[in-house]
C-alpha cells in the first residue's frame, strides 16, 4: 500500500536528481560570491564617497549619517539585485518539483528589497531628526511628533507591501480594507490621533517648546519640558522627577508657561511686609530732623516735608509709614538688580487685615535665573525688615509664634 502511494506521488511530482541538486548548489555559491563582491563595491562607492561628500558639506551632518548609516543600509540592496538578476537561471527543465526555486528566490529578493528600503528610510528619518535638532529652530518647532507619524506610516506601508508580495495580490486591496476598518482604527489609536492633532496645535500656536518652564497644577507638574512626542509631553520637575502629560490634555486642562518671563528679561517680586498698625504715627519736625541724619538716602525728601510743615504747620504732618514707603522706593530705585524702566515699579498699601497694614513691593529683577532672583529678593527684604525700626515701625508677627519662642527659651 505504501509503495503504491509513493509511486502515485512520484508519478505526478518527480523529484530532482542528485546532479541537479549539485548544479543548483554550485550556482548558489557562484551567485553568493558575486553578491558579496557587488556588496563590497557598493559599500566602497556609495558609503565611503557619500560620507566624504556629506562631511565636506557639514562635518556635523557627516557624524549623524555615520551614526544612523542610512546609505550603508541602502547598499544592502545590491546583493538582492544580483540574486534577482540570476534567478531566471534557476528555472531549468528539472524544476517541475513541489518548490519552484526560481520563483521563491525572486519572491525573497522582492521582500528583502522592500524591507531594506523601509529600514533605510527609517534610518534616514532618524538622521533628519538629529540634524534638525542641531539648529535653534528645533526648540521653537519640535518635529518629533511628525517623525513618529511618518515612521508609523512607513512601517505600516512596508508591511502591506510585503504581505501583498507574498500573497501575490494588489496592495490596493489592503488599503480598501483599511478604509472599511476606519472606525476600528480610530478607536484603537484614539490617543495617538488626539495627540497628533494636539501636537500640531501646540506647534502652530507655539504654546510649548522644549526647554520651557511650565506648571500644570492638575498634573502636579512644575519644571522644564524635555520632550514633545506624539502622545505625551515629558517634563523634568525641579525635584528631578520626570512627569509625562498626555499631549491633548495640555489643551483641555491648560498650563502656565514661563517663557515670556525669561524672554522679557525681568522676573517679578510681589511680596508684602505687614506693619503693626499700633506703631503707625505722625512725625514732628524734630523727628524728621533726627531721621534726616540717620537716613541720608532720603534727606531731600525729608527736607521738602520739613519745609511744608514749617510753612503750614502740623496739618502737613507726615506719617512714619509714608516715610518708610518713600525709603523703600528710593532704595529700590538705586538698586542695580531692579528694572527701573519698561516694567511695573510699584510700592503700595494693600487693604489692612488682622495681620496689620501690608506694604507691597511689586517690582522686577533684572536676573530671571531662579537662584539669582531669590537671592536678590531675599537681600532686599532682609534690608527692609532691618530698616523698619529706624522709622519706629514694627513688622507684624503672630503672638502665638512669640509665645512658642518664649516657651522654648525658658
Joined together, the cell numbers standing for residue 290 give 533726627
Give span(s): CATH 2.30.30.60, the chain: 143-264
Query: Which pLDDT belongs to residue 88?
Result: 61
Give span(s): CATH 3.30.70.100, the chain: 265-281+319-409
Fold classification of 265-281+319-409 is Alpha-Beta Plaits (3.30.70)
Is the confidence at residue 9, as pLDDT, over 70? no
Residue closest to 197 by CA, chosen among 253, 250, 157: 250
pTM for the full predicted model: 0.57
pLDDT in tens, 366-405: 998 889 999 999 999 999 999 999 999 999 887 655 544 4
**Average pLDDT for 28-55:** 77
Element (H, E) at 176: helix 171-180
pLDDT in tens, 347-376: 999 999 988 999 999 999 999 888 999 999
CB 128 within 8 A of CB 54: no
The CATH number that domain 143-264 falls under is 2.30.30.60
Tracing cell 488626539 back to the chain, one arrives at 194
405 contacts: CB under 8 Å, gap ≥ 6: none
Strands (E), 150-205: none
The CA-atom distances, in angstroms, between 201 and each of 195, 196, 246, 260, 278 are: 10, 9, 14, 19, 56
* CA gap 122, 68 in Å, rounded: 9
Residue closest to 215 by CA, chosen among 191, 177, 250: 250
What DSSP state is assigned to residue 169?
-
Element (H, E) at 348: strand 346-349
Please tell me the total number of residues recorded for the chain in this structure: 410
Query: Which pLDDT belongs to residue 141?
Result: 72
- Alpha helix (H) residue ranges in 224-337: 247-253, 259-264, 285-294, 299-312, 320-333
Query: Which pLDDT belongs to residue 186?
Result: 64
Amino acid at each position: 500500500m505504501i509503495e503504491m502511494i509513493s509511486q502515485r506521488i512520484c508519478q505526478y511530482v518527480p523529484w530532482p536528481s542528485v546532479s541537479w541538486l549539485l548544479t543548483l548548489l554550485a550556482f548558489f555559491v557562484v551567485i553568493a560570491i558575486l553578491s558579496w563582491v557587488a556588496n563590497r563595491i557598493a559599500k566602497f562607492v556609495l558609503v565611503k564617497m557619500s560620507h566624504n561628500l556629506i562631511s565636506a558639506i557639514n562635518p556635523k551632518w557627516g557624524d549623524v549619517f555615520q551614526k544612523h548609516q542610512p546609505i550603508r543600509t541602502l547598499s544592502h540592496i545590491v546583493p538582492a539585485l544580483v540574486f534577482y538578476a540570476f534567478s531566471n537561471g534557476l528555472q531549468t527543465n528539472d524544476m517541475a518539483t513541489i518548490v519552484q526555486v526560481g520563483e521563491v528566490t525572486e519572491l525573497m529578493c522582492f521582500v528583502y528589497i522592500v524591507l531594506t528600503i523601509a529600514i533605510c528610510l527609517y534610518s534616514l528619518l532618524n538622521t533628519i531628526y538629529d540634524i534638525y535638532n542641531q539648529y535653534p529652530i528645533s526648540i521653537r518647532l519640535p518635529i518629533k511628533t511628525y517623525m513618529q507619524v511618518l515612521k508609523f506610516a512607513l512601517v505600516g506601508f512596508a508591511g502591506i507591501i510585503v504581505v501583498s508580495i507574498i500573497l501575490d495580490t494588489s496592495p490596493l486591496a489592503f488599503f480598501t480594507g483599511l478604509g472599511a476598518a476606519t472606525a476600528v482604527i480610530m478607536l484603537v489609536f484614539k490617543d495617538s490621533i488626539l495627540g497628533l492633532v494636539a501636537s500640531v496645535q501646540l506647534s502652530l500656536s507655539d504654546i510649548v517648546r522644549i526647554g520651557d518652564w511650565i506648571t500644570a497644577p492638575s498634573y502636579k507638574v512644575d519644571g522644564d519640558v524635555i520632550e514633545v512626542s506624539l502622545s505625551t509631553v515629558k517634563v523634568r520637575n525641579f525635584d528631578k522627577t520626570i512627569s509625562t502629560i498626555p499631549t491633548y490634555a495640555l489643551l483641555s486642562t491648560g498650563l502656565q508657561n514661563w517663557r515670556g518671563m525669561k524672554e522679557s528679561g525681568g522676573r517679578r517680586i510681589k511680596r508684602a511686609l505687614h506693619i503693626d498698625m499700633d506703631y503707625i504715627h505722625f512725625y514732628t519736625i524734630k523727628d524728621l530732623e533726627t531721621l534726616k541724619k540717620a537716613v541720608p538716602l532720603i534727606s531731600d525728601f525729608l527736607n521738602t516735608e520739613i519745609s511744608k510743615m514749617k510753612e503750614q504747620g502740623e496739618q502737613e504732618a507726615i506719617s512714619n509709614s509714608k516715610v518708610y514707603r518713600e525709603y523703600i522706593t528710593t532704595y529700590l530705585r538705586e538698586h542695580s538688580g531692579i528694572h527701573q524702566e519698561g516694567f511695573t515699579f510699584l510700592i503700595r498699601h494693600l487693604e489692612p487685615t488682622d495681620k496689620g497694614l501690608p506694604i507691597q513691593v511689586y517690582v522686577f529683577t533684572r536676573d530671571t535665573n531662579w537662584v539669582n532672583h531669590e537671592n536678590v529678593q531675599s537681600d532686599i527684604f532682609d534690608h527692609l525688615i532691618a530698616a523698619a525700626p529706624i522709622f519706629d515701625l514694627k513688622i507684624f508677627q503672630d503672638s502665638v509664634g512669640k509665645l512658642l519662642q518664649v516657651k522654648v527659651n525658658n
